[in-house]
Amino acid sequence: MDRALAYGARCYRFESCRARQIMKIDQIYMAEALKEAKRAFELDEVAVGAVIVYKRQIVARAHNQTKLLRDPTAHAEMVALTQAANFLKSERLLSCTLYVTIEPCPMCAGALIWARIKRLVFGAADPKAGACGSVMDILGEKKLNHRVSVAKGVLAEECGSLISEFFQKQRALGKK
């Protein structure tokens, strides 16, 4: 009995240790996505950044480019998905994790399913257009045949304040 308890305690410690480790790794990659979001901010694009990780290697890094490309689909996630697919020479990104500073919109959430992404980590929630739990929950839709594991709120404050600052700046300049 004592031994069982001790074993249980050890397992628990192991689990929480692993969870902490994953959280730390998530923060490291989210910091890379934030660098991309800051790049977008400087270029006057909506301040969202994304990276895709495959076997602990960043295989794509992108930010919003809708103005530069005059393309409403050029969200950070879409650009990153194309980059990763080219890098891995496959349209299926089965073992990849996508990190993005803001909760994906319906288009990007749909694209994550088409790409068969394994895991999504996002920073701040988007109460106006978020499709991963805020306005709707595409990745949680059980009728779709692909499951994406989702972690949210990683560096949420930094991610959220950058985009708020971006929209404040745009409003001040009379652009939005």
List the catalytic residues: 77
By CB under 5 A, what part of segment 45-84 binds Zn ion? 75
The reply to whether 108 sits near Zn ion by the rule CB under 5 A is: yes
Can you tell me the distance from the alpha carbon of 139 to that of 142, in angstroms, rounded to the nearest whole number?
8
Three-class SS of residue 41? Answer: helix
Amino acid letter at 44? D
The 111-150 site mask, x for binding Zn ion (CB under 5 A), equals ----------------------------------------
Residue in 40, 51, 96, 105 binding Zn ion, rule: CB under 5 A: 105
Can you tell me the distance from the alpha carbon of 149 to that of 156, in angstroms, rounded to the nearest whole number?
18
How many beta carbons lie within 10 A of that of residue 128, not counting itself?
9
Measured from the CB of residue 148, what is the shortest distance to Zn ion in angstroms? Answer: 15
Measured from the CB of residue 105, what is the shortest distance to Zn ion in angstroms? Answer: 3
Contacts of 136 (CB under 8 A, 6+ apart): 106
Query: Which stretches of the chain bind Zn ion, using CB under 5 A?
Result: 75, 105, 107-108
